[in-house]
Structure 1
Amino acid sequence: MQKTVVEIEKASHVLKLLGDKTRLTIMAILKQRECCVCELLEVFDMSQPAISQHLRKLKDAGLVKEDKRGQWIYYSLNSQNELYDFIQDILQHHEC
């Protein structure tokens, strides 16, 4: 029973994060390919710090990972996350 409560809390946290349209769209884009913040700037009508804040929340939750290449940081979905399959199920219903 305790494990189920923990799993529900984790799933609830993911759903709360993905309840934000911007974060959900970022995740849908990252499902297709990795991106840097500068590429996401072309998609969203918001500042670089705002996009970075959304990415930081997703990274802190373990939903995305980053790969630093020179001065650029590329973001991608974290396939090692225990809720990765759950996230994939959510994303299959969202189109960019």
Structure 2
Amino acid sequence: MADVVLDRESFKALSSETRVAILKKLMERRMTASELAKDLKITAQAASEHLRKMEKAGMVFPAKRSKWVYFELSEKGRAVLEPGTTKLFVLLAISLVAVGWSAMRLFAQKAVSPENVPAPIISGAEEAGRALTATAGEKAADYAMTQPPAAGFEAFVLVLGAIGVGFALSSLMRGKL
């Protein structure tokens, strides 16, 4: 959702507490003018007049379903009520990707498996085990020496991602949408 531009009609539509209450009701679900009137304890004519003004401002739109006319929030109306929701979900998604990537880079180790190490042909089982261990150890040491130290950047991304996840989730749970 882009930034909401409020024009004169939008300010007129938001100047009434009843119209703001109607917007909040429409946030829950689409409703007819008579349903809104009943919920807000106003006349159906008053509800229709409020809806007409909000439709003119581009905050709601009518959706005809068989013989009923339901009113729904437009993108502009939804953006007025929850301006930061999209930003929070983007922050949450990026943070989760950062946490997953950095955790994978930090904690996943490439194991040297016995299949990769050729077993020497030795008659004694004990010496074969020692030779296999020495070869596997040499390969692991060689691998460790050829890899760049990566813990610093990945740890930074992990911490930053965890902070982002915590902030987004706490904002969503507190209702700061």
Fold equivalence (TM over 0.5) = yes
> How far apart, in 2, do the equivalents of 1:35 and 1:77 lie?
10
User: What stretches of structure 1 move > 3 A for 4+ residues in a row?
Assistant: none
Bigger relative CO (Cα 8 Å, ≥ 6 apart): 1
Letter in 2 for 1:54: H
1 or 2, which has the higher strand percentage? 1
- Between the two proteins, the alignment pairs up a number of residues equal to 81
Normalised TM-score (structure 1): 0.70
2:23 matched to 1:24?
no
Identity in percent? 28
Normalised TM-score (structure 2): 0.40
- Structure 1's unaligned 5+ residue stretches are 1-6
1 or 2, which has the higher helix percentage? 2
* C-alpha displacement of 1:23: 0.1
* C-alpha displacement of 1:28: 0.6
- In structure 1, the residue corresponding to 2:62 is in which secondary structure? strand
Superimposed CA distance per residue, residues 35-63 of structure 1 (whole angstroms, 9 cap, x where no aligned partner): 01121122122211111000000001111
Match of 1:54 in 2: 50
> How far apart, in 2, do the equivalents of 1:59 and 1:41 lie?
16
Rg comparison, structure with higher value: 2
> How far apart, in 1, do the equivalents of 2:9 and 2:57 lie?
8
Structure 1 residues 13, 87: CA separation in 2 closer, same or farther (over 3 Å shift)? Answer: farther
> How far apart, in 2, do the equivalents of 1:38 and 1:19 lie?
22
- In structure 1, the residue corresponding to 2:40 is in which secondary structure? coil
